[in-house]
Chain A
Amino acid sequence: MLKPEEMTKVVVVGTKDILEETVDTLHRLNLLHITDYDGSESGFSIGKPHRIASKLSEYLVTLRSISNQLRISEKDSVEKKVSVKEIPSMIESKLAELEEEVSKRQDAIRAVEAELKAQEDLEDAIKPLAALPLSLEDYRGYESIRVFVGFVDSEIEDLIRDKTEQYELYTGTFEGRRVIALAVPVEKEAEVSKILQDESTFVELRPPNLEGSPESLLEGIRSKKEELSAKLTELESERERIKEEYAEFILSSEEYLTIETQKAEAPLRFATSENSFVAEGWIPLERYDEFERRLSESTGGKIYVSKLEVDEEVKDVPIALKNPKIAKPFELLVNTFSTPKYKEIDPSIILFITFPLFYGLMLGDIGYGVLLIFLSWIIMSKVKSGGLHELSIILLYSAFSTIFFGIIYGEVFGLPLFNIVHHGAVEYGILGINGPQIGMLHLPVHRFAEVESLLTLVLVVGILHVTLGLLIGIRNVTVEHGFKAAVLEKLCWLLILFGGIMAIVTAMPAIMGGAALNTENPIFAGGIVLVIIGLIMLVKGEGPIAIMEIPTLLSNIFSYARILAIGLSSAGIALAVNTICKDVLFAQGGVFFAAGILVLILGHTINLLLGIIGPGLHSLRLQYVEFFTKFYEGGGTQYNPFGFIRKYTEE
Chain B
Amino acid sequence: MVEAEAAGLIAIGAGIAVGLTGIGAAIGEQSIGAAAIGAMAEDEKFFGKGLLMTVIPESIVIFGLVVALILLFVF
A positions within 8 Å CB-CB of B = 336, 451-452, 455, 555, 558-559, 561-562, 564-566, 568-569, 617-618, 620-621, 624-625
User: Quick one: closest A residue to B65, CB to CB?
Assistant: A565
Residues of A within 8 A of B70 (CB): 455
Partner of A561 from the list B56, B62, B74 (CB cut-off 8 Å) is B62
Structural contact, B62 and A451, CB atoms closer than 8 A: no
* Alpha-carbon distance between A617 and B48 when the two chains are bound, in angstroms: 10
A46 to chain B, nearest CB (A): 30
Structural contact, B49 and A617, CB atoms closer than 8 A: no
Residues of A within 8 A of B65 (CB): 561, 565, 568-569
Main secondary structure of the interface of A (DSSP, over half): helix
* B59 proximal to A (CB < 8 A): yes
B positions within 8 Å CB-CB of A = 48-49, 51-52, 55-56, 58-59, 62-63, 65-66, 69-70, 72-74
Partner of A558 from the list B51, B55, B56, B63 (CB cut-off 8 Å) is B63
Structural contact, B56 and A625, CB atoms closer than 8 A: yes
Structural contact, A621 and B69, CB atoms closer than 8 A: no
* Alpha-carbon distance between A618 and B55 when the two chains are bound, in angstroms: 8
- Known interface pairs A455-B69, A564-B69, A565-B69. Does A617 touch B62 (Cβ–Cβ under 8 Å)? no
Main secondary structure of the interface of B (DSSP, over half): helix
Partner of A617 from the list B51, B66, B72, B73 (CB cut-off 8 Å) is B51
User: Quick one: closest B residue to A566, CB to CB?
Assistant: B62
Residues of A within 8 A of B73 (CB): 451-452
User: Quick one: closest B residue to A625, CB to CB?
Assistant: B56
Residues of A within 8 A of B48 (CB): 336
Some 8 contacts from A to B, beta carbons below 8 A apart, are A451-B69, A451-B72, A452-B73, A455-B66, A565-B66, A568-B69, A617-B51, A618-B55
Structural contact, A559 and B69, CB atoms closer than 8 A: no
Residues of A within 8 A of B58 (CB): 562, 618
Structural contact, A621 and B62, CB atoms closer than 8 A: no
Residues of A within 8 A of B72 (CB): 451
- Known interface pairs A336-B49, A451-B73, A452-B74. Does A621 touch B66 (Cβ–Cβ under 8 Å)? no
- Known interface pairs A555-B59, A559-B59, A562-B62. Does A617 touch B52 (Cβ–Cβ under 8 Å)? yes
Residues of B within 8 A of A562 (CB): 58-59, 62
Residues of B within 8 A of A455 (CB): 66, 69-70
A362 to chain B, nearest CB (A): 11
